[in-house]
């Protein structure tokens, strides 16, 4: 089925596979905030949901921020938000009600405001109140604009004097080149026998999926969860090691005995050595008590390469899983 290009083109009517391939270009996109200025900033709060929130998780993994940074995925905001807080409201559609509510609270508490969106009410507010904003390029679905969102967040933080972008730009350009060289084996023209993304999708059919990552790779694990749920319409969860070993680990040891799950470990050689060891020990101690994990070892030399390679590989796996189920990956009607 996955080697039938006619079938793929019929089911993938909006060319989600092509979009996944082309998203590499987003990594080097430049945004200009013009003459935007910010006052003294002691902390940053980022209000967003779903794929828009993923950009902040990426930032926390790499390159990180020297200023306290919190991601808010709800209607309210922390009480500490005030005049020396940079509150960034991010919503691709511009109409996400939780983000709009959080923005209202941030305004009431006197925070400095910046906005990331492609339109909707959020863009109207930013223009009417003269907030610094980044207008994202149009994408077929919000989850297809994650790297744009990431670049927009970096641009705002640079403008606010919280990041120096020279080395980050070099690292992202290098990662984009690396991805361009490595993506070839995942494309639909490559048969199952030689295509690891198609192979893993076949292994996951009919199973509930659980994706695990360490602290450095958790943003990638979260993106896999998003992609399985939205692209493949296939239930998936995620959790983070080492927290996993302090509770969920025991859950696998007993009930339910019949476990119709597929376990995916996203591993990186750049994780803390004890995190890497925890993956190995967990696999050994739970052998026979849960399905053997599908281990995805991140490729590349640097952390941005590991993160971005793993995210893009997961995009392709989830898209092929949708096609195996006879589904168009693009629509998310209930959302």
Identify whether the C-beta of residue 55 lies closer than 8 Å to the C-beta of residue 90: yes
Identify whether the C-beta of residue 152 lies closer than 8 Å to the C-beta of residue 116: yes
For 309-318, write each residue's pLDDT tens digit: 999 999 999 9
Task: Provide the pLDDT for residue 213.
Answer: 98
Task: Provide the pLDDT for residue 139.
Answer: 86
Averaged pLDDT for residues 12-41: 96
First to last CA, the chain: 28
Strand 112-117, strand 261-267: pairing:
unpaired
Residue 297 banded pLDDT, cuts 50, 70, 90: very high
Q: 189-324: CATH homologous superfamily?
A: Glucose-6-phosphate isomerase like protein; domain 1 (3.40.50.10490)
Residues of the chain with CATH 3.40.50.10490: 18-175, 189-324
Q: 18-175: CATH homologous superfamily?
A: Glucose-6-phosphate isomerase like protein; domain 1 (3.40.50.10490)
pLDDT reading at 140 higher than 90: no
Cα distances from 28 to residues 65, 126, 165, 166, in angstroms, run 20, 25, 12, 12
How far apart CA 230 and CA 234 sit, in angstroms, is: 8
For 179-223, write each residue's pLDDT tens digit: 999 999 999 999 999 999 999 999 999 999 999 999 999 999 999
Identify whether the C-beta of residue 306 lies closer than 8 Å to the C-beta of residue 216: yes
How far apart CA 298 and CA 162 sit, in angstroms, is: 29
How far apart CA 89 and CA 92 sit, in angstroms, is: 10
Q: If you search the block for the tokens 């509150």, which residue do you land on?
A: 87
Residue count of the chain, please give it: 335
Alpha helix segments (H runs only) across the chain: 5-11, 16-22, 50-61, 97-108, 120-128, 146-159, 165-182, 196-204, 218-230, 248-251, 273-285, 303-324
Task: Provide the pLDDT for residue 141.
Answer: 81
Exposed, middle or buried, 109 (CB in 10 Å: 0-12/13-18/19+)?
A: middle
Which of helix, strand or coil describes residue 19? helix
């Amino acid at each position: 089925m996955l080697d039938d290009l006619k079938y793929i083109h019929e089911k993938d009517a909006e060319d989600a596979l092509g979009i996944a391939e082309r998203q590499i270009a987003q990594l080097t996109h430049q945004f200009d905030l013009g003459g935007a200025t910010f006052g003294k900033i002691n902390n940053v709060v980022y209000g967003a949901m779903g794929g828009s929130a993923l950009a902040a998780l990426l930032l926390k993994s790499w390159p990180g921020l020297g200023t306290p940074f919190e991601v808010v995925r709800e209607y309210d905001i922390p009480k500490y938000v005030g005049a020396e807080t940079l509150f960034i409201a991010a919503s691709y559609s511009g109409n996400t009600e939780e983000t709009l509510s959080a923005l209202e609270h941030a305004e009431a508490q006197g925070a400095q405001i910046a906005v990331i969106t492609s339109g909707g009410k959020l863009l109207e507010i930013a223009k009417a109140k003269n907030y610094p904003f980044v207008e994202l390029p149009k994408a077929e679905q919000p989850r297809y604009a994650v790297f744009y969102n990431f670049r927009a967040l970096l641009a705002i933080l640079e403008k606010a004097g919280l990041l120096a972008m020279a080395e980050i730009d070099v690292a992202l350009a290098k990662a984009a080149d690396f991805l361009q060289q490595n993506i070839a084996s995942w494309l639909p023209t490559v048969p199952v026998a030689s295509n690891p993304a198609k192979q893993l999708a076949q292994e996951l059919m009919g199973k509930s999926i659980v994706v695990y990552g360490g602290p450095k790779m958790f943003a990638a694990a979260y993106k896999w969860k998003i992609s399985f749920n939205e692209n493949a319409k296939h239930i998936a969860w995620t959790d983070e090691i080492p927290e996993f070993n302090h509770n969920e680990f025991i859950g696998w040891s007993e009930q339910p005995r019949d476990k119709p799950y597929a376990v995916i470990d996203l591993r990186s050689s750049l994780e803390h050595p004890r995190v890497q060891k925890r993956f190995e020990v967990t696999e050994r101690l739970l052998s026979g008590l849960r399905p053997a994990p599908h281990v995805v070892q991140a490729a590349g030399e640097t952390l941005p390469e590991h993160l971005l390679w793993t995210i893009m590989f997961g995009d392709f796996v989830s898209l092929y899983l949708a096609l195996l189920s006879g589904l168009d990956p693009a629509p998310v009607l209930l959302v």
